[in-house]
Amino acid sequence: MNQSKKYTIRDAYFWKITISLALASFFVFACMYAVQPLLPVFVEEFGVSVSESSLALSMTIVGIIIGLIVLGFYSDRMGRTMFIKLSLAGSVIPFLILPIVDSFYILVVLRFIQGFALAGLPAASLAYLSEEIDRRSVGVAIGLYISSNALGGMVGRVFTGYITDHYSWEMAFYSLAIVGLAILVVVLLMLPKSRFFQSSDLTFRKDIEGFLFHLRNPALLVVFGLGIVLQFAFTGVWTYLPFHLLAEPYSLSLEAISYTFLAYGLGVIGSPLAGWLAGKFGLSKIRIVGVMLLTIGICLTLSPSLILIVIGLCVSCLGFFTAHSLTATSVGEQATHHKGSAASLYLVSYYIGVALGSSALGPLWDAAGWAGLVIFTALLPVTYLLFIKGTNDKRKTVRSK
């Protein structure tokens, strides 16, 4: 192979990179969301409130947000593959310690540390793919990587729910550690060294200035805000769903509840479908359709019928992943400079939404229950779109005068 050329889809090394990162992405996202169906178990096991139990997820996301900024900075200077491998190792180790802790708050601290470690993969992987793979083939690699994100998040939730219901949450974490170790070995053996990485000599201050540049762009602020709102509403529903379905009149088992997360499989379909439809009908129109589907799906979960609740979850997943993928796409269109830092900021806003949806809705759940939470999360994305439209209309009116 010509060492001066990037890998193409015909090269064995292309598939080594793609398979390695797909497996790593699958595990990292399984780790990230593994605790979501277990929150009711933590309430019972540790005697904490519903709001406190959600910290097991939200503090992981806080760790990821910090890690994306810090590890992204060092990845630009020290290389990609080291952080990908360290991310996997750092994700496995906490799963060996978590089952033996007897304090919920130590568990939360360990999840925060795990979140920081998890960030190493998304902080380095996309840059690594774009550096090592030919531009005509990189789309396939990135597509498989992103599909693995959705698949990992879905399987992680279903897996831990099933194992916990049949054995224990401790066994679920030990099982994840074994899977992670196996994937780490595969990545250590298969992932090629970087050939085209060039170390950045910019200071951390310059990186921050790149971030601030985008925060002065009103069009990008609207996009970042939509990323927060979409994930805030979507995560809020899924975080408190297990508590709703454990209660009367459903009284479902944890295993049965974990199967509802299979609705995430529509995310694998929704993202590429949204891209195809946006090419035919326009990004903005299809994104609005996605937001409306998300809202309609959330509203359906108000039904007393379990079948309608499941249909609503499927519709909301299709709507969310449609709107999210197109919102992420619009970042590249709106950013005129520093496109990498713009993409990172969108990722940060996305995870801020996850953290808010996990814990900020706790008081609403305590005060108004499932009905109050559903009404709020259903109205939030639509209200934000109406706010954007009103703001844009005002700007057009001012310009025309």
The pLDDT assigned to 157 comes to 92
Work out the angle at residue 34's Cα, subtended by the Cα atoms of residues 355 and 378, and round it to the nearest 5 degrees.
45
Structure tokens at 114: 């795990």
pLDDT of residue 336: 63
- Ordered by start, the domain boundaries in the chain are 11-201, 202-396
Q: Can you identify the CATH homologous superfamily of domain 11-201?
A: MFS general substrate transporter like domains (1.20.1250.20)
Whether 202-396 and 11-201 are alike in CATH topology: the answer is yes
Determine phi and psi for 5, rounding to 5 degrees.
-105, 150
Q: Tokens standing for 371? A: 């009905």
Q: What is the pLDDT along the chain (401 residues), one digit of tens a residue?
A: 555 687 777 888 888 988 999 999 999 999 999 999 999 999 999 999 998 999 999 999 999 999 988 887 777 778 788 888 999 999 999 999 999 999 999 999 999 999 999 998 888 887 787 778 887 777 677 767 877 888 898 999 999 999 999 999 999 999 999 999 999 999 999 988 877 777 777 677 777 777 777 777 888 888 889 999 999 999 999 999 999 999 999 999 999 999 999 998 887 777 777 777 887 888 888 889 999 999 999 999 999 999 999 999 999 999 998 888 788 777 766 666 566 667 778 888 889 999 999 889 999 999 999 999 999 999 999 999 988 887 766 666 655 55
- Which residues contact residue 68 at a Cβ distance below 8 angstroms, ignoring those fewer than 6 apart? 119, 122, 123, 344, 347, 348, 351
| Distances 370 to 129, 144, 157, 244, 307 between C-alpha atoms, Å | 42, 35, 21, 7, 17
Which residue matches tokens 């960030």?
A: 119
Q: How far apart are CA 240 and CA 229, in angstroms?
A: 17
- DSSP assignment of 263-317: GGHHHHHHHHHHHHHHHHH-HHHHHHHHHHHHHHHHHHTTSS-HHHHHHHHHHHH
Q: DSSP 3-state assignment of 133?
A: strand
| 266-288: burial string, b at 16+ Cβ within 10 Å, e else | bbbebbebbbebbeeeebeebbb
Fold of 202-396: Growth Hormone; Chain: A; (1.20.1250)
Q: Is 7 helix (H, G, I), strand (E, B) or coil?
A: strand
Q: How remote is the C-alpha of 102 from its chain's centroid?
A: 29
Q: Residue 203 has what pLDDT?
A: 73
Note the pTM of the prediction, 2 decimals.
0.84
Q: Give the H/E segment covering residue 98.
A: none
**Long-range pairs of 209-217 with CB within 8 A, sequence gap ≥ 24:** 210/338, 210/341, 211/341, 211/344, 211/345, 213/337, 213/338, 213/341, 214/335, 214/338, 214/341, 214/342, 214/345, 215/345, 217/334, 217/335
